[in-house]
């Protein structure tokens, strides 16, 4: 089977290649594509694969039985549906098709049953929503969520490599100013709405007419689709924080029925893709970075017996993107669909 990766040189694309190698996902040939030229070949499982410019080599995608898209929405919109119609399985990590009613939006631990053999374009989730869904789905099955209040604390890597490099430069300026007892003076940022070093920014994406950011709207809408629960009332505040990798979420979940904390703990201990931190232990983005599971801590009763509070941390580049995409491919392969015409 020939496997293609579009956007192989980006942050998610690089993690995809690492997951393909680490999880021993099979391929006879790996075709790697980038929007730009001049990238060095990549070595995956001792095989050397050149990185091809997509603009001049996109026809080679027609040879692939499986294609991962880890690039821009525009590239996915231009190529993904055409490839799926030709019979390739396409797993898209952009936001282009997540809310398309004809495209399954899949987190394997949550809704693998939504995969269908006749729908070969599959969307991967928003990197913040993925951790939220993995943590909440076992509780939703027990008591049905009625309302959610969510505050996300999202790392700079979620805004891309340019934002990370900008953060590094700002951090150096911040450290120098701190040593002198002065307020830092930063150049105008290019990749985020405000300086992020020593700061938090309550804006991830642009705002709509109601004052909601793109990220806040995505989290609410995608969670409803993945859980199959369009009536959940969800309020989200998305915040960019000066961490490098790993998104954290404070969540208040209110259920239709009474929610028992002890039962919730037992269920989360057994839930796939989850690590429950108990007692005084809790996860942090720094500790969870590079880790595949979704981490949950500070599980406790809310204002009454129908509310639970959770602290959720997951690696935005792994479960939020690359790892989830490879897990989708593994599930498709397990069902015997990859070799079908």
Token couple for 257: 């029925």
Residue with structure tokens 């938090």?
200
What pLDDT score was predicted for residue 47? 87
- The mean per-residue pLDDT over the stretch 285-307 comes to 96
- Average pLDDT across the chain, whole number: 95
Architecture of domain 129-316: 2-Layer Sandwich (3.30)
Where exactly does CATH 3.40.50.720 map onto the chain? 2-125+321-334
Confidence at residue 36, expressed as pLDDT on a 0 to 100 scale: 84
> Pairing mode, if any, of strands 42-44 and 47-49?
antiparallel
Percentage of the chain lying above the pLDDT 90 cut: 92
Query: What is the average pLDDT across 194-220?
Result: 97
Using the predicted structure, report yes or no on whether residue 293 has a pLDDT greater than 50: yes
In the chain, list all ranges with CATH 3.30.360.10.
129-316
Q: In what order do the strands lie in the sheet with 89-92?
A: 51-53, 29-34, 2-6, 66-69, 89-92, 121-123
d(CA 255, CA 30): 46
- pLDDT of 159 reads 95
Q: Which of the residues are catalytic?
A: 127, 247
Taking each helix axis as running N to C, give the angle between helix 127-143 and helix 214-227, from 0 to 180 degrees, rounded to the nearest 10: 40
Per residue in 13-34, pLDDT (tens digit) is 999 999 999 999 999 999 999 9
- Mutual orientation of helices 127-143 and 261-270 as an angle, nearest 10°? 120
Whole-number pLDDT of residue 340 = 46
User: Confidence band (pLDDT; 50, 70, 90) for 98?
Assistant: very high
Cβ pair 10, 72 in contact under 8 A: no
Whole-number percent of the chain with pLDDT over 70:
99
Residue 268 structure tokens? 């989360």
* Residue from 267, 306, 248, 326 nearest 20 by CA: 326
Confidence grade of residue 37 (pLDDT, cut at 50, 70, 90): confident
Number of other CB atoms surrounding residue 131 within 10 Å: 32
Architecture of domain 2-125+321-334: 3-Layer(aba) Sandwich (3.40)
Per-residue confidence (pLDDT) for residue 244, from 0 to 100: 96
What are residue 184's phi and psi, to 5 degrees? -70, 150
Mean pLDDT, residues 140-168: 97
pLDDT at residue 341 greater than cutoff 60: no
């Amino acid at each position: 089977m020939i496997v293609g990766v579009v956007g192989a040189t980006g942050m998610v694309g690089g993690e995809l290649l690492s997951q393909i190698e680490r999880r021993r996902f099979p391929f006879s040939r790996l075709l790697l594509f980038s929007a730009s030229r001049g990238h060095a070949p990549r070595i995956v499982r001792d095989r050397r694969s050149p990185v091809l410019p997509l603009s001049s080599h996109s026809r080679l995608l027609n040879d692939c039985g499986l294609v991962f898209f880890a690039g821009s929405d525009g590239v996915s919109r231009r190529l993904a549906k055409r490839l799926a119609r030709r019979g390739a399985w396409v797993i898209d990590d952009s936001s282009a098709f997540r809310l398309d009613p004809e495209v399954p939006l899949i987190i394997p631990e949550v809704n693998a049953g939504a995969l269908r053999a006749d729908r070969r374009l599959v969307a991967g989730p928003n990197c913040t929503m993925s951790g939220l869904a993995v943590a909440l789905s076992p509780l939703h099955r027990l008591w049905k969520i009625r309302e959610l209040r969510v505050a996300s604390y999202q790392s700079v890597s979620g805004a891309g490599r340019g934002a990370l490099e900008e953060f590094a430069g700002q951090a150096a300026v911040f450290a120098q100013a701190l040593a002198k007892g002065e307020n830092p003076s930063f150049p105008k940022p290019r990749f985020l709405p405000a300086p992020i070093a020593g700061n938090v920014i309550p804006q991830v994406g642009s705002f709509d007419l109601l004052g909601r950011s793109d990220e806040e709207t995505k989290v609410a809408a995608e969670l409803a689709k993945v859980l199959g629960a369009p009536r959940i009332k969800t309020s989200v505040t998305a915040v960019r924080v000066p961490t490098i990798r790993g998104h954290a979420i404070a969540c208040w979940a209110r259920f239709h029925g009474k929610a028992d904390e002890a039962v919730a703990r037992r269920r989360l201990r057994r839930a796939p893709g989850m690590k429950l931190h108990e007692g005084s232990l809790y996860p942090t983005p720094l500790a969870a970075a590079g880790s595949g599971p979704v981490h949950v801590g500070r599980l406790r009763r809310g204002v009454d017996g129908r509310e639970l509070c959770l602290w959720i941390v997951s690696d935005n580049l792994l479960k939020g993107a690359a790892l989830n995409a490879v897990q989708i491919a593994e599930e498709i392969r397990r069902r015997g669909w990859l070799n079908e015409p």
